[in-house]
Amino acid sequence: MKSVAIGISLSLAVSALASKCAAQCHNAEVITRDVAIIGGGATGTYAAINLKDAGKSIVVVEKKGELGGHTATYHDPATGTPINYGLQVYYDDPLARAFFSRLNINVSKGEFPTSHTPLYIDFTDGVELANYSIPGLNDDYLAELHKYPYLENGLELPDPVPEDLLLPWSAYMKKFNITDDAFATYSRPAVAGDLTKTLALFVFNNLNTVMLEEEIDGKTIVNANGDYAEPFRNALAELGADVLLNSTVVSGQRGSKPAEGVRLCVSTPSGAKQIVAKQLVFAAPPVLDNLSPFNLDRRESAVVSQFAGGFYYTGVVTNLGLPTAHSYVNRGRATESHVASLPGNVMFNPTAVEGTYYYWYTSLSALTRAEVEAATRDTLKRLQRRVAGADAGAEPAFVAYNSHTPLHPTAGAEAIRAGVYRDMYALQGYRNTWYTGSLMVTGSPQLWNITSQLLPKIIAASEQ
C-alpha cells in the first residue's frame, strides 16, 4: 500500500518536473553522451579525461568560466609570473604523475611556498606573539592516527562509529593527552573554520599519512613551470565543446534503472541545452544547493541534506605596506592552542613577485568578494600600525580573488552516528548517479585514486 502511494507521488513529481524541464528546454539542442559530469574541478576533469580515454563520450557542466576548481592562478601583469593562490602541491604518486603526463605537463618536486621568516601575529589587533613558533609534529599524533586506518583513504566507518572520533579536536587532544602538534601542518591544505571544534574524525581524515608524507618527507609534485592552472587549460583545450563553462543544471530526471539514463536541462551562456546521458557523475560539492535541481528522492535528500561545506576565500594583494622579508601568519595570543579568531585572514604568503602576496580567509558565514576584501584591508591596516618598518599610508591593491565555498562538506556528529557516510557510500550508482570529489578525503591525488576506482563501475553501468 505504502509503496503504491510513493509510486504515484513519485510519478506525479516526475511528470511535473518533466514539464518544467520541457518548458525551459523546449526546442533546446540535445547533447547525447554516455556520461554527464557535473563540476570540472580536480575530480570532474580527471573523470572526463579518463572516461574519454576509455572510449566513452562525455559532457562536463562547470559553473565557473574555467576548469580546475580549487586551483587558482594569477599572472603578474608585468612579468607574466604565475602566482598560485589556491592549490599548492600534489602528493607524488603514480596516479598523479600519469595524469600530468597525460595532460602534457612536466612535473618537478613541489614546495609549499617558503615563508621567509614568518611573523606570528594576532590579526585581531596586530600584536605579535612573543617567542611563538609552530609546534612540531610528534609521535603522540601518529599513534592516534594509526588507530584509524579506515580514515586514510575515505570515510568507510565501522558501525557503530567510535565515539572518540566524534569528539571535537580540543576534547580529543585532552582525552588522549596529545599536544598541539596537529596545528603544525594543519593549515595546509585549507581547513575552514575553527580547528579546535573540528571533529577528530575529520582531523585524522585530512591530516592523514599521505598529507604527512607531503609535509614531512616532501613527497610532492607540481607543474615544473609553476603554472598550476595549465593542466586544466590543456584538458579544456582537448575536451573543447564537451565542456559547458559558466553553466548549471536547471532541472533533471534520473531513471531508476541503468537503461533509463538521465536527462538534464542546462543553462549555458548560449541558451538552454538538454543533456541525455546514460550515467551521471556528480563531482561538485554534494550539498543541497548543488543537488536540488536533480529531483532528489527522499532517500537521497535525507543523506545529502546532512552535508555542509565551510566558508573559504583566497586572493592576491599587492602594496601591503609591510616588510617583504616575512610571511604573516594569524595566531591567537589568548586562544586555545593559539588558533586564529574567526572570521579572519589565515595568512599572507609572499610569492615569486616581490611585494605581491597571496592570502587565505575563512569565516563562519558566506561572504561576498567585497566583504572579504574589505575585511582583509582592515587586517592589513592593523598590521601596518604594529609591524616594525611598516608603511601605515600604503593602500593595499586587490588583484585576484577566488571563492572556495562550500569547501569540503562534512556532516555533524549526530548524523555520523546515524550512519550518514554509510548511506552516502550506498548511494553510489543509485538512480544512475555516482559521487566523487572532496567529501571522502581532501587531497587531489587521493581523490583521483578514489575516482579511478569508481570509473570501471560507471563504465559498466553505461554499457547496460
Ligand X SMILES: *[C@@H]1O[C@H](CO)[C@@H](O)[C@H](O)[C@H]1NC(C)=O
Q: Residues interacting with ligand X, by CB under 6 A?
A: 65, 93-95, 104, 106, 130-131, 153, 177, 245-246, 269, 449
Q: Give the one entry of ligand FAD, ligand X, none that residue 312 binds, where binding means its C-beta sits below a cut-off of 5 to 8 angstroms depending on kind.
A: ligand FAD
- Stretches 59-67, 152-160, 385-393, 425-433: which one binds ligand FAD (CB under 6 A)? 59-67
DSSP state of 198: S
Q: Give the one entry of ligand FAD, ligand X, none that residue 245 binds, where binding means its C-beta sits below a cut-off of 5 to 8 angstroms depending on kind.
A: ligand X
Q: Between the CA atoms of 266, 268, 271 and 275, what dihedral angle is there, to the nearest 10 degrees?
A: -30
Stretch 269-288: interaction string toward ligand FAD, x if CB under 6 A:
--------------xx----
Sequence-ordered list of residues with C-beta below 8 angstroms from that of 153, at least 6 positions apart, any chain: 208, 440, 441, 446, 449, 450
Binding test (CB under 6 A) with ligand FAD, winner from 372, 375, 407, 461: 407
Would you state the cell numbers that stand for residue 115, as one nine-digit string? 615563508
Binding test (CB under 6 A) with ligand FAD, winner from 375, 443, 459, 462: 443
Q: Give the one entry of ligand X, ligand FAD, none that residue 106 binds, where binding means its C-beta sits below a cut-off of 5 to 8 angstroms depending on kind.
A: ligand X
Q: Give the one entry of ligand FAD, ligand X, none that residue 413 binds, where binding means its C-beta sits below a cut-off of 5 to 8 angstroms depending on kind.
A: none
Measured from the CB of residue 222, what is the shortest distance to ligand X in angstroms? Answer: 13
Report the greatest alpha carbon distance in the chain. 77
136-156 residues labelled b (16+ CB within 10 A) or e (exposed): ebeeebeebbeebeebbbbbe
* Identity of the residue numbered 14: V
Measured from the CB of residue 46, what is the shortest distance to ligand FAD in angstroms? Answer: 8
Stretch 422-441: interaction string toward ligand FAD, x if CB under 6 A:
---------------xx---
Q: Give the one entry of ligand FAD, ligand X, none that residue 353 binds, where binding means its C-beta sits below a cut-off of 5 to 8 angstroms depending on kind.
A: none
Identify the residue whose cell numbers are 609591524. 387
3-state secondary structure 250-286: EEEEECCCHHHCEEEEEEECCEEEEEEEEEEEECCCC
Quickly list DSSP for 9-48. Answer: HHHHHHHHHHHHHHHHTTT-EEEEEEEEEE--SHHHHHHH
- Output the residue with the shortest Cβ distance to ligand FAD: 41
Q: Give the one entry of ligand FAD, ligand X, none that residue 284 binds, where binding means its C-beta sits below a cut-off of 5 to 8 angstroms depending on kind.
A: ligand FAD
The reply on whether position 49 binds ligand FAD by CB under 6 A is no
Binding test (CB under 6 A) with ligand FAD, winner from 17, 34, 35, 44: 44
Nearer to ligand X, 130 or 259 (CB): 130
Q: How far is CA 336 from CA 135, 203, 207, 331, 392, in A?
A: 14, 16, 19, 10, 30
Measured from the CB of residue 176, what is the shortest distance to ligand FAD in angstroms? Answer: 27
Which residues are bridge partners to 267 per DSSP? Answer: 248, 272
Nearer to ligand FAD, 74 or 384 (CB): 74
Measured from the CB of residue 392, what is the shortest distance to ligand FAD in angstroms? Answer: 29
Report d(CA 279, CA 254) in Å as an integer. 9
Measured from the CB of residue 65, what is the shortest distance to ligand X in angstroms? Answer: 3
Nearer to ligand X, 234 or 379 (CB): 234
Nearer to ligand X, 91 or 398 (CB): 91
DSSP state of 322: S
Would you state the cell numbers that stand for residue 55, as one nine-digit string? 572510449
Binding test (CB under 6 A) with ligand FAD, winner from 312, 357, 359, 361: 312
